[in-house]
Amino acid sequence: MNIVKPESIALFCLTPGGITLAKRLSALLPMTCFTSQSLMEPGFEPFHGTMAHTVAEIFSDYSALIFICATGLTVRVIAPLIKDKFSDPAVVVIDDHGHHAISLLSGHMGGANALTRYIAGLIGAEPVITTATDVNQLAALDILAQQLNATMIDFRQNVKKLNQLLICGGRIGLYWDQTSLATVKMRWPEEYCDTRGLVLVTDLDDLPELDALLYVSLHDQVPDVPVPVYKLVPRCVVAGIGCKRDTPPSTVARLLSQQLAGLHIDPLALSAIGSVSIKRDEPALRNLANQCCVPFEIFSVDLLKPAAAHFPVSDFVKRIVGIGSVSQPVAWLMSNGRLIGGTLRTQGVTITLGVSC
């Protein structure tokens, strides 16, 4: 998701007033400021030709763009570059005098709404937010997904469907499946999530009148209830993996699927896989990370040694790697010790799962 990071903001200005405001902002928030050659001052980058040409060149390189100029001009400049709300950067427009800050593009997924409010607070501007859920003081599924680092099947389509249902007065229940975290004695961070307008459900056997149910869970099944169920899956399951050199990629992928299924964990919950540094170039593990669209994290032997002391020692692994086990200490570090299930050991592969919430 295109989450705004302060170090990846680009600002564009066209007037002396814009230069003055850009200096104020850049002193408070890390950013790269662009302006025309005629207005160049220390700390600014010149346009690469025109502003439109510069924006086209860097549009995908920054997670947020700030324009100190007219909204109409900004719209004309970015219009040919826009793809969708799930990949476009946040775009915020500010007038020369800093009276108004407008969230123009990617308000939720890109973080433009949050950035607009933050900038407005910095310079004393009036934030202008027009997204329907914000205006109606309702939660938005895409924001809840961000807060939980979660996803679901057909995410884009279902985000639009559920947000629209909520805006139109539909009753959407929200159920936190605490049983999916029971083995690691954790709970979902409900108090940190925006759930305005959602109907909290505590008993699936006694549902209130609903149009849909949002089910937050790591489990691979959904409850059998008399309303449409949309499962939101937090991506917080990690997999420590060890394997013999040149293990077929299909073998590792199949065994990971087997391990997840055995614990009734939705594959969408996987957030990262990891291994020891000697495996940094192992094709099966790199292919698996790419296939699952998750990071492949590498740990040195020295870093793993303290955690490895908690687990049984394989003389073969210790002779090859330098520590007595791989998957368990890796999963231990990735999950802060919150392991789930046992370790799978078969066909030269070991897999240990953990929860990193």
CATH number reported for the structural domain that contains residue 241 in this entry: 3.30.420.180
**Sheet of strand 90-94: strand arrangement:** 44-46, 32-35, 9-13, 64-68, 90-94, 100-105, 126-128
User: Residue 335: inside a domain, yes or no?
Assistant: yes
Is position 92 within any domain? yes
Q: Note the pLDDT of residue 7.
A: 52
In a domain, 319, yes or no: yes
Q: Which of 130, 164, 185 is the C-terminal boundary of a domain?
A: 130
End residue of a domain, out of 216, 234, 252: 234
Give the pLDDT confidence score for residue 277 in this predicted structure: 94
- Which of 258-280 are b and which e, b meaning 16 or more Cβ less than 10 Å from the residue's Cβ? ebbeebebbebbbbbbbbbebbe
pLDDT for residue 4: 43
- Tens-digit pLDDT string for the chain (357 aa): 444 444 589 999 999 999 999 999 999 999 999 999 999 999 999 999 999 999 999 998 999 999 999 999 999 999 999 988 778 999 999 999 999 999 999 888 788 888 999 999 999 999 998 887 777 788 889 889 988 999 999 998 999 899 999 999 999 999 999 999 998 989 998 888 989 999 999 999 999 999 999 999 999 999 999 999 999 999 999 999 999 999 999 999 999 999 999 999 999 999 999 999 999 999 999 999 999 999 999 999 999 999 999 998 888 888 888 899 999 999 999 999 999 999 999 999 999 999 997
> For the chain, how far is it from start to end, CA to CA, in angstroms?
18
Residues 17 and 90 in one domain: yes
**Residue corresponding to tokens 């814009």:** 18
Examine the domain organization and report whether 230 and 246 are in the same domain: no
Q: Which two tokens stand for residue 348?
A: 């030269």
Give the pair of three-digit tokens for residue 234: 């937090």
- What is the largest distance, in Å, between two alpha-carbon atoms of the chain? 71
The continuous run of DSSP H or E covering 88 comes out as: none
Q: Is 309 helix (H, G, I), strand (E, B) or coil?
A: coil
In a domain, 295, yes or no: yes
Question: 202 with 308, same domain?
Answer: no
Q: Please give the structure tokens belonging to residue 267.
A: 């594959």
Asked if residue 268 belongs to a domain, the reply is yes
**Is residue 330 in some structural domain?**
yes
Domain boundary among 234, 259, 284: 234
- For residue 65, give every residue at least 6 positions away whose Cβ sits within 8 Å of its Cβ, in sequence order, or none: 9, 10, 11, 12, 55, 59, 78, 89, 90, 91, 92
The whole domain housing 206 covers 141-234
pLDDT of residue 6: 45
Token code pair at residue 42: 């220390």
CATH code of 96's domain: 3.40.50.11220
Are 13 and 118 found together in one domain? yes
DSSP 125-160: PEEE---HHHHTT---HHHHHHHHTEE-TTHHHHHH
**Residue in 344, 180, 152 with CA at minimum distance from that of residue 262:** 344
Distance CA 34, CA 11 (A): 6
